[in-house]
Amino acid sequence: MTTANGRRVVVITGASAGIGRAAARRFAGMGDAVALLARGADGLEGAARDVRQAGGEALAIEVDTADHEQVDAAAGKVESELGPIDVWVNVAFASVFAPFTKITPDEFRRATEVTYLGFVNGTRAALDRMIPRDHGVVVQVGSALAYRGIPLQSAYCGAKHAIQGFNESVRCELLHDKSKVRVTMVQLPAVNTPQFDWVLSRLPGHPQPVPPIYQPEIPADAVVYAADHPRRREYWVGGSTAATLLANAVAPGVLDRYLAWMGYRSQQTKHVTHRDPPNLWRPADTEPGTDQGAHGSFDDRAKSRSVQLWASQHHGLLTAVTATFATGLGALALAHRLKTTRMTGVEPSADLPHEGIRAVRAIEAGRAAWGLVLLTVPARVICALGGRRDRTVEIVARLLGARQLGQAAMSGLRPSRSLLVGGAVIDLVHAATALALGTVDDRWRRVALADAAIALGWSLNGLRDSTKTGRTTPSHSDADRVTAASSTSAWTNAWGRLPRNCR
């Protein structure tokens, strides 16, 4: 549901600074009404001013997200003044930079209550209002540290791990109930926010994000995109996030030792001397003149672009490009094979036995049928496999069908060992691309998995058929005939070029 004037109502916790502040500007730029929840009065005033300047309607509410009653009361105020909540974004957190043994029990509890229970309280307040309407989106702003713990941030890592498990559990419950309310999570890299200036720290150096560092506008764009496309279970932002999560999945023990060696040094710097009062127990941006904005102290080192984020948001386009590129390679291989045939007079299929050729052509006929179906009636395939119809999905399905048809024509018309091996490699790339697309976008997951399975099966068949024994080289007599024909042709051409009086 939207407000009477057609705008969404968006609630952002931790909106007075950092990623929450940047996300508020992005939502406001789309004409949304934005409710800003945070503790710091001056920061909230600055955030409300930003929202109005960007074209949105602002409602600032001082809230400690660790207190469920405050959060629930704030949600009620939002709905009474702005209208039903469409999007709820949980960002607020507090932390301590120190070895675990140097964090007091009260400090650890407070960081956990704000960071973990703050997300729980926000999600509860949102779902209590969204579920009866069967409409709404909750975006949890997570971190690569939701999967990978690092030294000196045990309270923060523990809370983010807890949020990850909590969000997955709630998502499963909503799916079970067939609810149209969505929850999704955005896993972030190191970001240049004011938290490193006002976090409680017991480090000898100034706390810093683990490089590479990104500007807060990048995760803000990811949050807005996730709110618009909430069917995906989570989004990764930044190449460092993707690399960290993949490395942790493959070799977590090695990463433990690497972080034990580099983790202390990479999270401290001597080049920043600015420090604000710690904000663990009370906000650092309450008094006039203390508003910090969205950026921290690392503007000179922070990146303003993320190729990985762009790729994540345009995976359909990348799949189409990959499929087109693979088809082009196949066409070039076919053209080369035909050229070789004309020059040598030897059919490419001469290195395969007759029964192998028949098997290849039977398989490629099946591939052509599947490609033709994808190309001509993608919507029916998507619906038959339980996917959700979408223009982008249909376009990608057609392109994949065209690639399958091209591969079938290339391998079926003139099969050869080298062509089958090359086609198998292309099929493997095709299968991997379809699998990756299916795992990150459930709009057409079953279609992607079916296409990947078919491509993988044909790849294995192609490799198997390419190993069948046959006449791998022309016989001596065949070779002699080819050589003789080539020599005769060469002499004939040379004789024809001679002047008539020289013959």
Residue 499 tokens, joined: 């002047």
CA-based nearest residue to 458, from 364, 375, 369: 364
Q: Please tell me which residue in 116, 147, 156, 214 is annotated as part of the active site.
A: 156
* Amino acid in position 282: R
116: annotated active-site residue = no
CA 157 – CA 140 distance, rounded (Å):
15
For residues 161 and 115, the answer to whether their CB atoms sit within 8 Å is no
Q: Which residues contact 422 (CB under 8 A, 6 or more apart)?
A: 329, 330, 333
| Helix pair angle (239-250, 252-266), 10° resolution | 140
In three state form, how does the secondary structure of 148-171 look? Answer: CCCCCCHHHHHHHHHHHHHHHHHH
CA 155 – CA 137 distance, rounded (Å):
27
Phi (first) and psi of residue 475, to 5 degrees: -70, 170
Give the CA diameter of the chain: 110
CA 142 – CA 163 distance, rounded (Å):
8
Residue 246: Cβ within 10 Å count: 11
CA 228 – CA 26 distance, rounded (Å):
12
Q: Is 415 exposed, middle or buried (0-12, 13-18, 19+ CB in 10 A)?
A: buried
| Helix pair angle (417-440, 391-413), 10° resolution | 170
Terminal Cα distance for the chain, rounded: 92
Question: What is the DSSP track for 65-78?
Answer: TT-HHHHHHHHHHH
CA 57 – CA 32 distance, rounded (Å):
7
CA 388 – CA 400 distance, rounded (Å):
17
Phi (first) and psi of residue 191, to 5 degrees: -130, 145
Phi (first) and psi of residue 224, to 5 degrees: -65, -40
CA 92 – CA 22 distance, rounded (Å):
13
Q: Which residues are catalytic?
A: 156
